[in-house]
Amino acid sequence: MAGLITKKTTCSRYLFKNVNNYMKRLSSHFTYFPDEQKPIEGETSKMNMMQAINNAMDITLKTDPSAVLFGEDVAFGGVFRCALGLQEKYGKDRVFNTPLCEQGIAGFGIGLATAGATAIAEIQFADYIFPAFDQLVNEAAKCRYRSGAQWACGALTVRAPCGAVGHGGLYHSQSPEAFFAHAPGLKVVIPRGPTSAKGLLLSCLRDRDPCIFLEPKILYRAAAEEVPVDSYEIPLGKAQVLREGDAATLIAWGTQVHVMLEVAQMAKEQLGVNCEVIDLASILPWDEETVCNSVKKTGRCLIAHEAPLTCGFGAELAATIQEECFLHLEAPVRRAAGWDAPFPHVFEPFYLPDRTRCMQDLRDLLQY
């Protein structure tokens, strides 16, 4: 009898240990912080990020008769359901599938925009945007400039799901923003949740420059909050201070914003310091003013992004901060990023700059 009990205990301990490990492996690496501040007054509705993006496109298709939405598998709603119901609502000539060819999708979108239509192109995963790199960097970005503003394709927005998703491996996890940040003429934007996604996407769609809108796919369903029902825009090229503080400036975008918000909370609880958290939101052009003002105030800066460290966008931020805030810096600018390796499958928990790694970096930064 005694033996049996021991065995049972061992068994449950074994089970517990495994479930716990399993949870560590599969639980998301962040806690979502819903947007409390609403950009406009008025009615709100609970939406996840997928629904907010769907809502922004719905508003655009409704108000702009030239607007079309296309890409691989968007007709039935898209593999992430962002286009759900839009074909039924607006017709097959406005929401449609293209052949499976990213360079074609981007080129086709540029042509639509050149002829005066609003083009919403979807690249199924940001990992597959590279075949369209030539069209986006050599064509879309330079269209207005090379023609002396006779021609432009500003009505083009390319949406692509990006970022870590827990198990995406090499080609369903990438964050390619830094590749595009080196292309003058493009705007690169990444939202952090439903409210910001709707406002930023509407801005991209109405903006007079071609935009790449990268949607952190892990937030599509995980992030839900009250989102204004009416149309509103969140300005491009502007960062947002989400939490004020004086001990250090934490800069991130996309999902990583939530990691940083948690780190700021941990810093408050564990170290008793207030950190300022900035969502950069616009990667190109980026908000130098907000970032530098914050760093001048705090004297310390930690930048975090999922993309690899070397030549990641953090490098551009760090270099500019160093140049603009040299006399105010109390410690070297620190970057927590993905390692300089392809995005791995089973090693994802070790790859990402998660709360633990960012927290450690922050401690080091504060103790410098």
Partner 1 sequence: MALRSGVSFLRFTALRSSRLLSTHTRPDIQQNGGKTAEFPGAKAPYVTDMKFLNETNYEPIPIYRVLDNNGEVLMNSEEPDLDKEVLLNMYKTMIQLNQMDKILYESQRQGRISFYMTNYGEEGMHVGSAAALSLRDMVFAQYREVGVLLYRGMTISELVNQCYGNHEDPGKGRHMPVHYGSRQLNIVTISSPLATQMPQAVGAAYAFKRQPDNDRCVICYFGEGAASEGDAFAAFNFAATLECPVILFCRNNGYAISTPSSEQYRGDGIAARGPSLGINTLRVDGTDALAVYNAVRAAKEIAVKNKPVLIEAMSYRVGHHSTSDDSTAYRSIEEIQKWTADENPIQKLRLYLERKGLWNEEADKALIKESRDIVVRTMQDAEKKKKPHWKEMFEDVYYDMPPKLQKQMKQLEHHLKKNGEHYPLDNFQKE
Q: Which residues bind partner 1 (CB under 8 A)?
A: 66, 68, 93-94, 96, 98-99, 101, 103-104, 106-117, 119, 131, 134-135, 138-139, 142-152, 154, 184-185, 187, 207-209, 237, 285-286, 288-289
Least distance (Å) between residue 110 CB and partner 1? 5
Task: Please provide the distance, in angstroms rounded to a whole number, between the alpha carbons at the two ends of the chain.
Answer: 59
Least distance (Å) between residue 355 CB and partner 1? 31
Centre a 10 Å sphere on the Cβ of residue 163 and count the other Cβ atoms it contains. 27
User: Whose Cβ is closer to partner 1: residue 10's or residue 147's?
Assistant: 147
**Can you tell me the distance from the alpha carbon of 357 to that of 363, in angstroms, rounded to the nearest whole number?**
10
User: Whose Cβ is closer to partner 1: residue 153's or residue 301's?
Assistant: 153
User: Whose Cβ is closer to partner 1: residue 100's or residue 170's?
Assistant: 100
Whether 10 and 16 have beta carbons less than 8 Å apart is answered as: no
Which listed residue (72, 122, 139, 172) is catalytic? Answer: 172
Active site residue 36: no
Whether 213 and 189 have beta carbons less than 8 Å apart is answered as: yes
243: CB partners within 8 A, 6+ apart: 261, 264, 274, 275, 276, 277
Least distance (Å) between residue 112 CB and partner 1? 4
Burial of 26 (0-12, 13-18, 19+ CB in 10 A): exposed
Q: Residue 330 has which token pair?
A: 């109390």
Sign of the CA dihedral 39, 45, 51, 56?
A: negative
User: Whose Cβ is closer to partner 1: residue 66's or residue 231's?
Assistant: 66
SS3 labels along 242-300 = EECCCCEEEEECCCHHHHHHHHHHHHHHHHCCCEEEEECCEEECCCHHHHHHHHHHHCC
Least distance (Å) between residue 99 CB and partner 1? 5
Least distance (Å) between residue 330 CB and partner 1? 25
Give every strand in the sheet of 334-338, ordered side by side: 240-243, 275-279, 248-252, 301-308, 334-338
User: Whose Cβ is closer to partner 1: residue 30's or residue 180's?
Assistant: 180
Least distance (Å) between residue 71 CB and partner 1? 12
Residue type at 106? A
Active site residue 29: no
Measured in degrees and rounded to the nearest 5, phi and psi for residue 213 equal: -110, 105
Whether 47 and 18 have beta carbons less than 8 Å apart is answered as: no
User: Whose Cβ is closer to partner 1: residue 66's or residue 265's?
Assistant: 66
Q: Residue 4 has which token pair?
A: 């049996």
User: Whose Cβ is closer to partner 1: residue 96's or residue 339's?
Assistant: 96
Least distance (Å) between residue 279 CB and partner 1? 19
**Can you tell me the distance from the alpha carbon of 6 to that of 9, in angstroms, rounded to the nearest whole number?**
5
Least distance (Å) between residue 236 CB and partner 1? 10
Whether 94 and 57 have beta carbons less than 8 Å apart is answered as: no
User: Whose Cβ is closer to partner 1: residue 143's or residue 197's?
Assistant: 143
Q: Which secondary-structure segment (H or E) carries 359?
A: helix 355-367
Which listed residue (102, 215, 225, 262) is catalytic? Answer: 102
- Give the residue numbers marked as catalytic: 102, 172
